[in-house]
Amino acid sequence: MPSSSPPAIKVENLVKTYGEVEAVRGVSFTVARGEVFGFLGPNGAGKSTTINMLCTLARPSSGTARVSGFDVSRERDDVRRHIGLVFQDQTLDGYLTAAQNLRLHAELYGIDPGVVPARMRQMLEMVDLWDRRDQTVATFSGGMRRRLEIARGLLHSPRVLFLDEPTIGLDPQTRSSIWRYIRALQETEGTTIFMTTHYMDEAEFCDRIAIMDRGEIVVLDTPAELKASVGADRVVLGTADDDAALRALRDRFGIEATVAEGAVTFHVESGEAFVPRLFAELNVPITSVAVSRPTLDDVFMRYTGSTIRDAESGGGSDLNRATMRVLSGARR
Ligand SMILES: Nc1ncnc2c1ncn2[C@@H]1O[C@H](COP(=O)(O)OP(=O)(O)OP(=O)(O)O)[C@@H](O)[C@H]1O
């Protein structure tokens, strides 16, 4: 990347307060051009508020953000021209056909009419809706609508595409095809993708992930580095004599293991490399062995204190978090 080209997104000390609630508490990060950037966090963490500021839908209380080189407060129209949005609230017109929805969007964005038909075809083919272009959207399934929204969000060749939970509620097949489009886009058009998701398996596909909690970014790195930061692999052993295995692990390897759920359990840096040594040196018959690497679930748990599923199901947490924020703000 030439040094003269600005990053896709550059955020510095961005703050958003709603009355007493500090929804976003001074976040800073940079997203490189062409990157697929994942934004995770429990409900009420401040993800939507941050995205809304980046998309010029909400004004920052303080701090700065530049998208594709343009300031979100002072150059809103320029920002808007260079971004695409696929949000959770559906904004397709059900009475119009797929093609009509896209044409409307092309007009709103002032796309050169000469290039519209070819671009429409390209996008509709990418999301496998070309054959359905003349059907009304009201007849589409949820997955088809979402695919059409993605096609529409891309019609004007945005530099940065914001996706808010693009695959929520979709079947695994549609989810994986949406990911195929996202990757294809990144490769063919160099589009930067900024997305939120609650699916940890999808977060794995991101180049980098930021985890937000209570208005702050608590960690930001590649999925691999994040998992490495959580630490050691977990090894679960079935043995013929657990007590003897615990003693042998301590004496021979200096490992303090425990018996959990009927199996000898411990953590080591590199589980796979360790297993052959176990078989060779433990001197206690091993009946089963399972090694598991830290997952992004472990990462989420480590940095937010809850699993993504618990975080998702905690319906009342927004209010609690807001209250906590007010209280913690008041203490400062
Ligand atoms: N318009 C608003 N007025 C008042 N408070 C708001 C407003 N929008 C968001 N908040 C508060 O700001 C905090 C952050 O909300 P936000 O929607 O950004 O979180 P989120 O991480 O996107 O959550 P979710 O995963 O549930 O979408 C919450 O406490 C929320 O109640």
For ligand 1, atom 30, the nearest C-alpha belongs to 44
Asked whether 64 and 75 are in contact (CB, 8 A), the reply is no
Only one residue has tokens 């953000």, namely: 65
Which numbered atom of ligand 1 lies nearest the CA of 212? 21
pLDDT reading at 318 higher than 70: no
Residues 174 and 244 in one domain: no
Two tokens, residue 332: 């400062």
Asked whether residue 103 falls in the same domain as residue 191, the answer is: yes
pTM of the prediction? 0.77
203-221 pLDDT tens trace: 988 999 999 999 999 999 9
pLDDT given for residue 317 in this prediction:
37
On whether both 284 and 192 belong to a single domain, the answer is: no
Highest mean pLDDT, choosing among 1-10, 20-29, 197-206, 235-244:
20-29
Asked whether residue 179 is assigned to any structural domain, the reply reads yes
Is there a single domain that holds both residue 201 and residue 267?
no
Assign 310 a pLDDT band (cuts: 50, 70, 90): low
Residues 52 and 25 reside in one and the same domain: yes
Phi (first) and psi of residue 149, to 5 degrees: -65, -40
Compute, in angstroms, the gap from residue 44 CA to the centroid of ligand 1: 5
Same structural domain, 173 and 41? yes
What's the pLDDT at 77? 92
- The pLDDT score that the predictor gives to residue 308 is 61
Q: What is the CATH number of the domain that holds 151?
A: 3.40.50.300
For ligand 1, atom 10, the nearest C-alpha belongs to 23
Shared domain for 105 and 184, answered yes or no, is yes
Ligand 1 atom closest to 52 (CA): 18
**109-118, long-range: CB < 8 A, 24+ apart:** 109/81, 109/155, 109/156, 111/155, 111/156
Q: Are residues 147 and 246 in the same domain?
A: no
Residue 148 lies in a domain: yes
The answer to whether residue 261 scores a pLDDT higher than 90 is no
Taking the centre of ligand 1 as the mean of its atom positions, its distance from the CA of residue 106, in whole angstroms, is: 31
Ligand 1 centroid – CA 161 distance (Å):
21
Q: Is residue 53 part of a domain?
A: yes
Identity of the residue numbered 289? V
Helix ranges (H only) for 66-171 are: 76-82, 98-108, 116-126, 142-154
Rounded to the nearest angstrom, the distance between the alpha carbon of 49 and the centre of ligand 1 is 6
Last-in-domain residue among 227, 246, 266: 227
How many other C-beta atoms are found inside a 10 Å radius of the C-beta of residue 130?
A: 16
Question: Could you identify the atom of ligand 1 that is nearest to the CA of residue 42?
Answer: 25
Q: Cβ distance 203 to 38 under 8 Å?
A: yes
Q: Say if 304 falls within a structural domain.
A: no
Q: Kindly indicate whether the ipTM for this predicted assembly is greater than 0.85, answering yes or no.
A: yes
CA of 319 to the centre of ligand 1 (A): 10
> Looking at residue 246, which CATH number applies to its domain?
3.30.70.260
Q: Are residues 119 and 163 in the same domain?
A: yes
Say if residue 288 is in the same domain as residue 152.
no
CA distance 175 to 16: 32
Domain count across the chain: 2
* 212 lies in the same domain as 262: no
Integer CA distances (angstroms), 60 to 55, 57, 74, 128, 193, in order: 11, 10, 11, 38, 21
Residue-number span of the structural domain to which 268 is assigned: 232-292
